Structure 1
Amino acid sequence: MEDQRVEEELTRAIVLAERVRTAVDEAGSYKADCIQVGRHVDTLTDKLRSLVRFTSSAQSFYERPVRRVVAEVCTNLGRALALLRKCKGRSVLRRVVSIISAADFRKVVFHLEASAGDMKWLASVLDSNNCDVTLPPVASNDPILAWVWSSVCAICIGSLAEKIAAASRLAALAGDNDRNKKIIVEEGAVPPLLKLLNESASPEAQIAAATGLLYLSNEEERVRTIVDALGIPLIVKVLGDSPMRVQTWVARLVARMSEFDSIAQCDFARENAIRPLVTLLSFETFSDDQMMMSQGKQSIHSLVKINMEMEKHTVVVDGKNSVPNHHYRPYTSSFSSFHLDGGGRGGSNRKERENERPEVKRMLKISCAEALWMLARGNVLNSKRITETKGLLCLAKLVETEEGELRYNCLMTIEEITAAAEFNADLRRAAFRPNSPAAKAVVDQLLRLMKESDNPALQIPAVRSLGSLARTFPARENRVIGPLVTHLGNRSQEVAAEAAIALGKFACPDNFLHEVHSNAIVELNAVPVLMRLLRGNDRAQLHSLILLCYLALHATNNAATEQARLLTALEGLDKALLANSELRELVSKTIYHINLYHAGPHSQRLLYVH
């Protein structure tokens, strides 16, 4: 039982073995068979006493296999005791009534030999100089159990090389299937892996541990086990103070845990994981900005002036021309030095980081961007924290200069932050003010992607992000509305539907400037395209219908809205499309509005959709 100390369980087993020994001495029948049982019990007793001596002297050891083996030993000793008690009487009648056969003794001896084999295996895995990889009888029906036990034991007491090999074995087992993951967690592998992750003297050991934990973290309950083992403060510490290749795996671990568990997502932010992630993501991106700040130009006025000057110049990053640097970070010099180091370690490591291979730096940034994406997903507070570290500027910069997975992860992070800002006025006002350099940089890159990219995987998050920011744009914001209207005719129905959703956020009644935006959308000739979208797939049809209703209700340019065609289309809608009561009400209101205000005298009808 887990609530008992291991020493207590071992004492119980030894007492039970002594009782079996006494029963052997008291046996009145089948004497030879009982003596044979006694020899096996003596062997077990010696092994149990050796194990007691080990557990009493060891500072720490892996308890799970000890408890399991000792429990099995007690079960088999109980079987032996029950049989030997039947042999206590000498009378022929008792022997006949007991019905003892030679097979009963063979069965008991078999179980005792199996327990002796378990004890021998246990002694070997608890010996740091002799890690047995054979299969103990107790795990004969489930070999994975023995492999997990021996691996965890090696992580606990083995040499450094053995610990790395054992953590790699666990990672390989965890990568096979979810059943293995469940066994690994149930058998208590998480605390030893976390301890190995803290092995700062060996990056290989840290990577092996992080890999194992990463494979385990694909389900909420298992992630919660890592959280409950106080793993998050340790993970954040390693993230801020390790070589880049270790930080890459730890950032992946942060992303995976945040993806599957909202508690972990919040705890990482509470432990201040966002700042080192942004720091690592922006490493070697804003070096000129850092240099200017280190020269003492740290007043708000000076920083704004620096930002304006930097917009006019091109900086060089890694030997390549980059775009103008807009980075504006009113932080103290202490944070500036943290940023310069590329992490939480001392400045002496900067040269080591700069000399790291480009592919290692890129993989680190990909992992950090993914971690920020998962931390921001559905979390307003974390999104706010990212903007407070000036992460938006860094994300916008990387969206502009990078490609592939790194750009995609940055773009998805922006999508999550803008989605949070859509429903949180404080975040919207703080991070996306019209005169904010960060907000301007983000919008510029979103618009550039919409115009230049033909990849729906990039177009969709860009369109969604602009739609989420609809309430931050001033009146007559055709710079944003125009590209969105253009994408209504995108060859991808998904992109077209997202464009309709985004424009709907400009034209909906919740937007204070909905009338101005509706007129702008109509003037850009969006209505004919939307009418064609009504013949598209279900999603495109639904959202084009909603946007058409908003335009009919709010736009004042009546002629351009093609009211007659729209009225005919609304009247001919499939009833299945209007299953939603709110949509049915919106369509009814639109039909009423068209008939009452925009149709000719001969068609003053009040039509409702039922």
Structure 2
Amino acid sequence: MASEEKRIEDVLSHPIMLAELIRKAVDDADWFKLECSEAFKLVDRLSAMLRSAVRFANAGPFYERPIRRIAADITKNLGRALTLVQKCRRRSILRRVMTIVSAADFRKLFSLLEASIGDMTWLISIYDNDGGGGIAISLPPIATNDPILSWVWSFIASLHLGQLNDRIEAANEIYTVAKDNDRNKKIIVEEGGISPLLKLLKESGSPEAQIAAANALYVLSDDQDTVKLIGDELGVPIVVSVLGNSPIRVQIIVARLVARMAGKHAAVQEDFGKENVIRPLVTLLSFDTIVDDPRLQYAKKSINSIVQINKQLDRNSLTSFNYKPGSSLWFHTEGSSRGGLRKERENETPEMKHKLKTSCTEALWMLARGSVSNGRRITETKGLLCLANLIEGENGELQKNCLMTVMEIAAAAESNADLRRAAFKTNSPAAKAVVDQLLRVIKEYDSSVLQIPAIRSIGSLARTFPARQTHIICPLVEQLSHRNQDVAMEATISLEKFACPENFLCVEHSKAIIEFNGIPPLMRLLRGNEWTQLHALFLLSYLALHAGHSEALEQARVLVALEGADRTAAAQNPELRELISKAIYHLNMYRAGYTS
């Protein structure tokens, strides 16, 4: 906008110049001299206030948004005053008749000028307020029809100019005003509230200030455009720095902020990864967590190295973070506060530690969602082993967040062979620990919220399992009979990934599915809803293609079912129709061979 590009001194100089022109016009007035004189008194007061505003602007940090808006209104009103006063000069009778001036015109002008004086009085109060920049209580006339605007101006001005306590109060007020009100959030962002909140977030000496700023940023950042703006304001390195070097009560809300921002904007999600936010998140999760797992004793050397890595992570990531301009790397410095932070964490209540881990796992989930690079970073920081331990030892939201994170990493590995080979090697202790926990959740839990991400994760990793690991397939086959149709459908989709031609071991896996008695529940799923029926037909077709000689297929009358589907459900899906045709051909071929 052109008005936003002007310096604030230029914005204020125009109405001041108009005031001088009005003074000269009043001296030249011949009609309504008393009214013109009264008008100039009001204009002169406005001029003095505008000059005070210029002094404030030149004195130091200055919040410009309200003065730009109010100065624009004042300029319009002074323009009207100049026009009216100029009409009062001596001129011909004809010109006077054509430009009639009445007392009502002056009364209207007085009202406009008094409103502008009220606006400037309010404005100076929030800029001055005994030098403290506190929150104004009264409302300016300009905000009569929309009080929220003046409140927001007052809060943001206090964030810019106030003492620390005033800034904390202003951030808390912004949180209250913005909570559950999208219009208020939009006004706060448009009026420049993001930048001073980020500045307050950096107040490392005041946890209360950081919490107030983080809470306000959290409620504002539920919009994609706002999250992008926070990123444009260099908010990502600030957030990462605070996360790495703050008390637990600050880290809880900052981790939630990371989760919300990463979940709203893909570019910001990647920016967080580049700023190395995953390392402190994993470190905070591994704090107070035993990483030695008795099931992994066969790999003591690897586990010992993981313990050492976790200790090193703890030494590094919980120290002061410093951002090097122009670089995506962080370097760490030991400070006197480091020991205090560690001691504070050790003395925190289990409830606070649980909240911190819940927030961190939510952040990892959002960071990993749809991102191969962040999935790789999590595995490189030994995050898989930490997630496996938490899945085993925790419950509720924390456990769910861990499962969702693993599901996203597995989905990234499914689409990226390099990540799949690096993170989910069959001899990797971390990968084995994760898979063991996924299978345990599938077999032992009766909650679709937990079982579905575990089942999806196993399906995404289908190409990593060798043929001899048939114990992976058995739990999935068992879920085909689950009373919750969503769970049964997810199990079907995962088994498809084992039996599809893209899987090098599809023949061996297909035989295993049949051996674990997977055909009967699949036949029952054909009576389910459209999506369940669709995936059941895909899986049955794969099994027929890769293990068509099996008697189980003959006994379950799979051929009859596929022939019926070829005329009904498959008609809507060309890919399935072609697959069913191939499956019918194979079954008929084996059947003919068996009969002869």
Give the TM-score normalised by the residue count of structure 2: 0.92
Alpha carbons of structure 1 residues 599 and 125: separation in structure 2 relative to 1, 3 Å: farther
Task: Please report how far the alpha carbon of residue 563 of structure 1 lies from its aligned counterpart in structure 2 after TM superposition.
Answer: 6.9
Q: Distance in 1 between matches of 2:76 and 2:204?
A: 43
Which of 168-177 and 459-468 deviates more? 168-177
* 1:22 partnered with 2:24: yes
Matched letter for residue 474 of structure 1:
P
Which one of 580, 583, 586 corresponds to residue 590 of structure 1?
Answer: 583
Provide the secondary structure at the position in 1 that maps to 2:4: coil
For the pair 1:84 / 2:85, whether they are aligned, the reply is yes
Give secondary structure in 2 for the equivalent of 1:28: coil
Q: Distance in 1 between matches of 2:472 and 2:543?
A: 17
Whole-Å separation in 2 of the counterparts to 1:144 and 1:131: 13
State how far apart, in whole Å, the 1-side matches of 2:320 and 2:472 are.
Answer: 35
Letter in structure 1 aligned against 2:518: A
- Partner SS for 1:572: helix
The one-letter code of the counterpart of 2:5 is: D
Structure 2 residue aligned with 1:156? 160
Assess, with a 3 A threshold, how the Cα gap between structure 1 residues 182 and 508 changes in structure 2: closer, same or farther. same
Q: How does 1:256-267 map to 2 (within 5 A)?
A: 256-267=260-271
Where do 1:283-362 residues align within 5 Å? Answer: 283-286=287-290, 305-307=300-302, 328=306, 331=309, 334-335=312-313, 337-338=315-316, 346-362=338-354
Is the 1:279–1:342 contact (alpha carbons within 8 Å) kept by the matching residues of 2?
Answer: no
- 1:315 alignment partner in structure 2: none
Structure 1 contact 487–496 (Cα < 8 Å) conserved: yes
Which position in structure 2 is the counterpart of 1:10?
Answer: 12
Distance in 2 between the 1:526 and 1:473 partners?
Answer: 19
Cα distance, 1:89 vs structure 2: 2.9
Cα shift at 1:94 = 2.3
- The separation in 1 between residues aligned to 2:493 and 2:401, in whole angstroms, is 22
Alpha-carbon separation, structure 1, partners of 2:110 and 2:180:
37
Q: Deviations over 1:518-551 (max 9, x none)?
A: 0010111111110100001122111111100000
Q: 1:271 to 1:558 in 2, by over 3 A?
A: same
Output the CA distance in 1 between the equivalents of 2:425 and 2:522: 31
CA apart distance, 1:162? 1.3
**Distance (whole Å) between structure 2 residues aligned to residue 556 and residue 549 of structure 1:** 9
| Superposition pairs of residues 153-192 of structure 1, within 5 angstroms | 153-192=157-196
Counterpart check, 1:562 vs 2:562: no
Distance 2:17 2:318 in 1: 65
C-alpha distance after superposition, 1:538-581 (max 9, x if no partner): 22111111100000001154211137722222222363553222
Q: Which residue of the partner structure matches residue 140 of structure 2?
A: 136
Q: Distance in 2 between matches of 1:107 and 1:280?
A: 65
Q: Does 1:212 align with 2:237?
A: no
- The equivalent residue for 1:365 is 357
How far off its partner does 1:457 sit?
A: 0.3
Change (3 A) 1:599 1:22: farther
Deviations 1:324-362 (A, max 9, x none): xxx825649754522687997623432111001221111
1:378-393 equivalent positions in 2, closer than 5 A = 378-393=370-385
Partner residue, 1:50? 52
Q: Matches of 2:11 and 2:288 in 1, distance apart?
A: 58
Q: Which moved more, 1:72-81 or 1:28-37?
A: 28-37
Match among 465, 468, 471 for residue 479 of structure 1: 471
Read off the aligned partner of 2:582 and give its amino acid letter. Answer: K
Secondary structure in structure 1 of the residue aligned to 2:408:
helix
Q: Distance in 2 between matches of 1:245 and 1:474?
A: 45
CA distance in 2, matches of 1:499, 1:388: 29
Contact 1:248-1:367 at 8 Å conserved across structures: yes
| Residue 411 of structure 2 corresponds to residue 419 of structure 1 | yes
Distance in structure 1 (CA, Å) of the matches to 2:317 and 2:467: 38
Aligned equivalent of 1:398: 390
Letter in 1 for 2:477: V
Name 2:99's counterpart in structure 1. Answer: 98
1:409 maps to amino acid: N
Q: What is the deviation of 1:172?
A: 1.3
Equivalent in the alignment of 1:115: 116
Q: 1:188-238: per-residue Cα shift (whole Å, max 9, x none)?
A: 000000000001111111001001111111121110110000111111100
Offset of 1:32 from its aligned partner? 1.8
> Could you tell me whether the CA contact under 8 Å between 1:563 and 1:598 is conserved in 2?
no
Following the alignment from structure 1 to structure 2, what is the Cα–Cα distance between the partners of residues 233 and 536? 50
CA 1:29–1:575: 2 relative to 1, 3 Å: farther
CA positional deviation for 1:306: 4.5
Aligned residue for 2:76, secondary structure, equals helix
- 1:333 and 1:172 mapped to 2: Cα distance? 40
Q: Which region of structure 1 is more displaced relative to structure 2, 236-245 or 278-287?
A: 278-287
CA contact (8 A) 1:415 1:461 kept: yes
Counterpart among 210, 220, 225 of residue 229 in structure 2: 225
Work out the CA distance in 1 between the residues paired with 2:453 and 2:55: 63
Structure 2 stretches lacking a partner, 5+ long: 322-331
Which residue does 1:538 correspond to in 2?
530
Would the aligned equivalents of 2:245 and 2:318 in 1 still touch at CA under 8 Å? no
One-letter code of the match for 2:442?
Answer: M
Shift of 1:46: 1.1
Q: Is the 8 A contact 2:441 2:450 kept in 1?
A: yes
Structure 2: how far apart are the matches of 1:599 and 1:89? 116
Q: Is the contact between residue 278 and residue 378 of structure 2 (CA under 8 Å) also seen in structure 1?
A: yes
In 1, Cα distance between equivalents of 2:55 and 2:63:
15
User: Aligned pair in 2 of structure 1 residues 340, 153: CA closer, same or farther (>3 Å)?
Assistant: closer
**Distance in 2, Cα, partners of 1:148 & 1:508:** 58
Which amino acid is 1:138 matched to? I
Is the 1:341–1:347 Cα contact (8 Å) retained in structure 2? no
Structure 1: distance between partners of 2:404 and 2:350: 23
Q: Does 1:580 align with 2:542?
A: no
The corresponding residue for 2:34 is 32
Q: Does 1:520 align with 2:524?
A: no
* Partner SS state of residue 487, structure 2: helix
Q: Given that residues 304 and 328 in structure 1 are in contact (C-alpha distance below 8 angstroms), is that contact kept between their aligned partners in structure 2?
A: no
* Paired amino acid for 1:497: M
Q: Is the 8 A contact 1:303 1:330 kept in 2?
A: no
How many angstroms apart in 1 are the aligned matches of 2:115 and 2:241?
45
Moved more, 346-355 or 402-411: 346-355
Report the CA distance shift for 1:332/1:540 in structure 2 as closer, same or farther (over 3 A). Answer: closer
AA partner of residue 49 (structure 1): R
User: What is the number of residues matched between the two proteins?
Assistant: 573
Distance 1:483 1:331 in 2: 33
- The TM-score with structure 1 as length reference comes to 0.90
Q: Hey, what's the Cα distance between the residues in 2 that align with 1:24 and 1:140?
A: 31
**Partner Cα distance (2:412, 2:387) in 1:** 16
Q: More displaced, 1-10 or 93-102?
A: 93-102
Instruction: Find the aligned partners of 2:183 and 2:35 in 1 and give their Cα distance.
Output: 43
